């Protein structure tokens, strides 16, 4: 098994455990899959942002050159680059995962939002004039008034 697979397995295991800890494992399988996909997307974005931040400007430039369109770069090569440029890269990933898990576990409002997103229906319903209302229910100004 490659190190890339180890990181993927670590992320998958952490998300599976988080879903269990939040009681999401009692939801229908299709809803579990949907939530798992969304949580994975958020986690991967956070890992990417943290990675780019840790690389610094010079490292980001090297990364961009390495991954330019037309160049074939394997995930293993990208990971090796990150490990070379970022001290304790694996630890950084585990830290992002743990931070995400703690955030999900400690915020009751997020738990209810994830477990029952339909309860939040109506937050961004169209305003009476057909315009989309911003989050929080504020009305957009109407140019016709």
The tens digit of pLDDT for each residue in 79-131 reads 999 999 999 999 999 999 889 888 888 864 444 555 555 544 444 444 444 44
Distance CA 87, CA 54 (A): 9
Greatest alpha-carbon pair distance for the chain in Å reads: 65
In a domain, 77, yes or no: yes
Q: pLDDT for 52-77, tens place per residue?
A: 999 999 999 999 999 987 789 999 99
Is 143 part of any domain? no
CA distance 13 to 8: 8
The answer as to whether 107 is a domain residue is yes
Q: The domain containing residue 105 runs over which residues?
A: 3-120
Are 129 and 143 spatial neighbours (Cβ–Cβ below 8 Å)? Answer: no
The answer to the question of residue 136 being in a domain is: no
CB–CB of 15/21 below 8 Å?
no
Q: Give a yes or no: residue 128 inside a domain.
A: no
Number of domains in the chain: 1
Q: Is residue 133 part of a domain?
A: no
- For residue 116, being part of any structural domain is answered with yes
pTM: 0.62
Q: Is residue 126 part of a domain?
A: no
């Amino acid at each position: 098994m490659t190190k890339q697979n180890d990181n993927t397995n670590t992320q998958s295991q952490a998300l599976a455990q988080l879903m269990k800890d939040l009681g999401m494992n009692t939801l229908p399988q299709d809803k579990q899959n949907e939530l798992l996909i969304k949580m994975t997307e958020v986690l991967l974005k956070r890992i990417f942002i943290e990675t780019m931040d840790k690389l610094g400007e010079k490292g980001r430039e090297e990364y961009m050159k390495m991954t330019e369109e037309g160049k074939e770069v394997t995930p293993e090569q990208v990971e090796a680059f990150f490990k070379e440029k970022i001290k304790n890269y694996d630890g950084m990933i585990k830290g992002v995962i743990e931070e995400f898990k703690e955030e999900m576990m400690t915020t009751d409002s997020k738990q209810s939002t994830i477990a029952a997103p339909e309860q939040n229906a109506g937050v961004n319903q169209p305003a009476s004039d057909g315009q989309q209302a911003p989050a929080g229910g504020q009305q957009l100004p109407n140019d016709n008034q």
